[in-house]
Amino acid sequence: MYVNLKAASENFQGASRTIQPVTLVGGRAASCLDLDIVAERLPGQPLSYRLQDSATSRVLFQISWNDLEDRLKRAMLAYFYEDYARIKEHLVFRKVYGYATRPVSYLKNGALVQVECGTFPCMTCGIILPDHLITIDHHKPQQGGEALALLKVFRACGWTLKGPWGVLGRTYQEHAGQSWIDLATAIMDTSRWPGIQPGVSTVHDLDYEDRHTLNSEGILIHSVLVWSGDIARVTQNCMDSLLNLKPLCLSCNASKGKKILGEHTPDTDDDA
């Protein structure tokens, strides 16, 4: 996921190197002309990266390579499969999105019968369907939503000026310093996790700019991923993570289906 950065860090040569910071402000890429990032290996010390003020050299954030790698590993905890549609198989996804064994009606030989099977509700219209008929959609679109998908994960990791609003994002943020098992256990705890309800949106514009703007830690991590050439791969992992996927029926997942429901369909997003 960040193989170039790992190689560059482990094979770092020389005393120091300057990296140009690149941030996201309101969801848009922006340069940081008043900041520098310095990669430095002092004698007897591990490689470290620090974000500092260009004029005064005041350190805003500093992290060793080992700690940076640990943060990146935890950021990718919600990414499960190269085939994102298989997220339906995961117990945490099922818990979050109301998977349950329910009676489903079928017409067989002219008679209406009910069969118990695994089902999901569509997160837009609420229809209950057998899991093999449910499609998996991205909260943030695969075309044009790359920065927003990245920010959903960064926000849940605490790397933006303001944190997430949604229950899933907040739960992820609370347990970002722990293992995936701890996170999964928290989500699977029925007493604290009500599940996400179809057609109910938590999206609003309150603090939108700050929630889509990187803080000092986020600027450093984003910048070194851009510098190493890993940002595209990491962005794709964020696109296909638990935080950015939801179950929809085929009609709601198709553009024609969304037109039938109206130009504005509720996005139970977010805001991780």
Task: For 111-142, write each residue's pLDDT tens digit.
Answer: 999 999 999 999 889 999 999 999 999 888 77
Higher pLDDT, 187 or 195: 187
pLDDT of residue 83: 79
- 88-92, 161-165, 168-172, 251-255: lowest mean pLDDT where? 168-172
Q: What is the pLDDT of residues 49-88, one digit of tens each?
A: 999 999 999 999 999 998 998 888 878 766 655 678 888 8
Dig out the tokens for 207 from the structure.
């603090």
Asked, for residue 201, whether it belongs to a domain, the answer is yes
Q: What are phi and psi of 27, to 5 degrees?
A: 90, 0
Beta bridge partners of 136: 247
Q: How confident is the model at residue 258 (pLDDT cuts 50, 70, 90)?
A: very low
Distance CA(197)–CA(96), nearest Å, equals 9
- 149-153, 219-223, 237-241, 267-271: lowest mean pLDDT where? 267-271
Q: Over range 227-252, report the average pLDDT.
A: 90
Terminal alpha carbon distance of the chain? 21
Asked, for residue 122, whether it belongs to a domain, the answer is no
Cβ contact 53:33 at 8 Å: no
Asked, for residue 124, whether it belongs to a domain, the answer is no
Asked, for residue 107, whether it belongs to a domain, the answer is no
Asked, for residue 211, whether it belongs to a domain, the answer is yes
Asked, for residue 119, whether it belongs to a domain, the answer is no
Q: Over range 230-257, report the average pLDDT.
A: 85
Asked, for residue 246, whether it belongs to a domain, the answer is yes
Neighbours of 38 (CB within 10 A): 16
Q: 25: domain range?
A: 1-97+139-272
Residue 94 has pLDDT above 80, yes or no: yes
Residue 34 has pLDDT above 90, yes or no: yes
Dig out the tokens for 93 from the structure.
């996804």
pLDDT of residue 261: 42
The whole-chain average pLDDT of the chain stands at 83
Q: Over range 13-33, report the average pLDDT.
A: 91
Asked, for residue 105, whether it belongs to a domain, the answer is no
Of 164, 157, 160, 159, the C-alpha closest to 77 is 157
Domains contained in the chain, number: 1
pLDDT of residue 79: 64
Q: How confident is the model at residue 177 (pLDDT cuts 50, 70, 90)?
A: low
pLDDT of residue 259: 42
Distance CA(15)–CA(59), nearest Å, equals 18
